[in-house]
Amino acid sequence: LKAPERILEKVMFALTYDTGMRIDELTNLLISDVDLDRGQVHVHQSKNKKNRYITMSSHAIRGVKKHLALNDPKDYLFESPIRKGIPISKTRIRSLLKDAVEKAGIKKDVCVHTLRHTYATHQLEAGQNIMVLKESLGHVDIRTTLIYLHIAQLDPVRKFGCMEPLYVKGDG
């Protein structure tokens, strides 16, 4: 996320990683879909024809505010650099990410969907509930979300850490 020089790219990629949005959802995101006070993004009619709300981190909120102040988009949060009021194209997003990946010296293949996969994996590793993650990703079938359980590096000791508060010191 440090490789892009322009705030547009920094915010676009940070928001994608921060929310796990699909590229279609990102391109169709209106300014009115972003509630900076509540820290939420409203995704309309996603791939599965479901509306959902996704929480943003304080880092993403600050970035979106900065992007809005500097770039002053008209309707879409991320607009075409050529025509105001028209969403940025998927081709342009892919090209910007490719440039950022090259500049960062990353040798692996990285696409926009990689940011979504990374979001899901990191959410699970941080202890996110699988059902909450399913809703956040907009999955219809839990089996789609369960794929990330195989990828995530889960701490086996941590699984039982939530039980700690139930024990009184000295109960061993």
Task: Give yes or no: 143 in active site.
Answer: no
Task: Say which of 22, 76, 119, 134 is annotated catalytic.
Answer: 22
Please pick, among 76, 116, 119, 134, the residue that the annotation labels catalytic.
116
The catalytically annotated residue of 17, 76, 119, 148 is 148
Give DSSP secondary structure letters for the chain.
--S--SHHHHHHHHHHHHH---HHHHHT-BGGGEETTTTEEEE-S-TTS--EEEE--HHHHHHHHHHHHHH--SSBSSB-SSSTTSBPPHHHHHHHHHHHHHHHT--S---HHHHHHHHHHHHHHTT--HHHHHHHHT-SSHHHHHHHHHHS---TTGGGGGGGGGSPTT--
Measure the CA–CA gap between 104 and 99, rounded to whole angstroms: 9
Residue of 10, 67, 134, 139 marked catalytic: 139
Is 22 an active-site residue? yes
For residue 2, indicate whether it is catalytic: no
Does the annotation count 47 as an active-site position? yes
User: Per the residue annotation, which of 38, 44, 47, 59 is the catalytic one?
Assistant: 47
Q: Select which of 59, 113, 158, 159 is catalytic.
A: 113
Q: Which residues are catalytic?
A: 22, 47, 113, 116, 139, 148
